[in-house]
A = this chain, B = another copy of it.
């Protein structure tokens, strides 16, 4: 009861981690090897992984060398990029091979996949035949699919076995492959086709002579190796699953995904979407170097500034029009803001729908029609309100009518772009969330301004 009492969750916070970091720095400085080793052995691998990037290079090497052997594989797996990459650079192929051998196949493939080709080859050569084959096989799947996140270690028994034989099979699997967490046991045919599932309690309570076929639950939800990881997450969420079997194109059981992988997928996808929308790259909230943060953010800001300069040239092009009716300039922020907001609204629904599988690429046309209907309603209400306000405020009904109509048009175009850009991005294999980010909103500004000022030149002057 010493290590993870409730109060110790404080390690999760920056404050707690900084305290730990300071103690470690002092121990390294004073050469208190035994104390440091004792402290490390009491920490959870996930906490050590959180701490690691906060240490200096020298301290990192010190800590890594002192880590109890049974902890280092877990620490390596839990490390975020770029800390994991930096550590892997300092380790020899032999050391990495020994660690990879201890890992489950999905984690092993992730580590080998993070190495450059040459080093990956050398690490693979140090593995035994079976692990090498497993890792090679997992590396063939796209990282963001069911195949890319599944593990090959799966507790399965044959439908033709009896309960007694099945228990023995599982015990052997536990000894040989180290499958410890048995949430669900899958039942397969002689040919390996997925037939049903059982839980451990059912198996233990049944008579040893009962055939597995009679005991199993034949209603089993499975996914193909090619399914996108966000869709996998949606299925696990919908059906409240703890583990999910993965099948190949023939329906043969090839692996299983556990809910902790899905938790990671959901959290990562949400973070990724928000970073893309905001233009912050891979920035970590705990990053302390202002220069590194600056480096993550500046490309997005420069792009937005270039977009703003294009807007400026558009406006310069219509300098005469603006000088003639200066009131046109007053409504530039309204036109750009309304286009931006409408576009982002349309995009966000599509981005969410594409993520959960509720919207497909082939839904493009009906989706656009739906958005046009919504845009019509929004455009009429907002256009009439803005038109009336401008007419009364400036006493220029003609200008009011013009601005109201332009707003309607602007809302229509922004909505159509808002719904079609994410679907087209998805089709091109690009993250649809980009449609909510600075690039597309800047493009919307430029298009809106060109229409606004171009039409003004034609109709008002």
Q: Which residues of A contact B (CB under 8 A)?
A: 1-6, 9, 12-15, 44, 46, 50, 181-183, 195-196, 200-201, 204, 218-224, 231, 233-242, 247, 251, 259-260, 262-264, 266-267, 269-271, 273-275, 277-280, 283, 285-286, 288, 290-291, 293-294, 297-298, 300-302, 304-305, 307-309, 311-313, 315-316, 319, 322-323, 326-327, 329-338, 341-342, 344-345, 347-353, 356-360, 363, 370, 373-374, 377-378, 381-382, 385-386, 389, 436, 438, 441-442, 445, 449
Contact = CB atoms under 8 A, between A and B. Distances in A.
Contacts of A44: 219, 221, 239
B260 A240 contact: yes
Q: Give the copy number.
A: 2
Given A50-B238, A336-B337, 18 more contacts: A2-B219, A6-B223, A9-B223, A12-B358, A14-B358, A183-B242, A237-B267, A240-B260, A270-B273, A277-B348, A286-B358, A298-B382, A304-B337, A305-B337, A305-B382, A311-B334, A311-B337, A319-B326
B251 A264 contact: no
A263 B266 contact: yes
Contacts of A349: 278, 280, 283, 285
Contacts of A280: 345, 348-349
Contacts of A342: 301
Given A278-B345, A278-B347, A301-B338, A285 B204 contact: no
Nearest to A308: B334
Nearest to A277: B277
5 contacts: A46-B238, A233-B263, A242-B242, A298-B377, A337-B445
A36 to B, nearest CB: 20
A196 B1 contact: yes
Which of the listed residues A6, A200, A302 has the most CB atoms from chain B within 10 Å of its own CB? Answer: A6
Contacts of A204: 204
A448 to B, nearest CB: 10
A367 to B, nearest CB: 9
Contacts of A234: 12
A344 B276 CA distance: 11
Contacts of A262: 263
A219 to B, nearest CB: 5
A316 B329 CA distance: 9
Nearest to A372: B290
Given A12-B357, A222-B6, A305-B386, A374 B274 contact: no
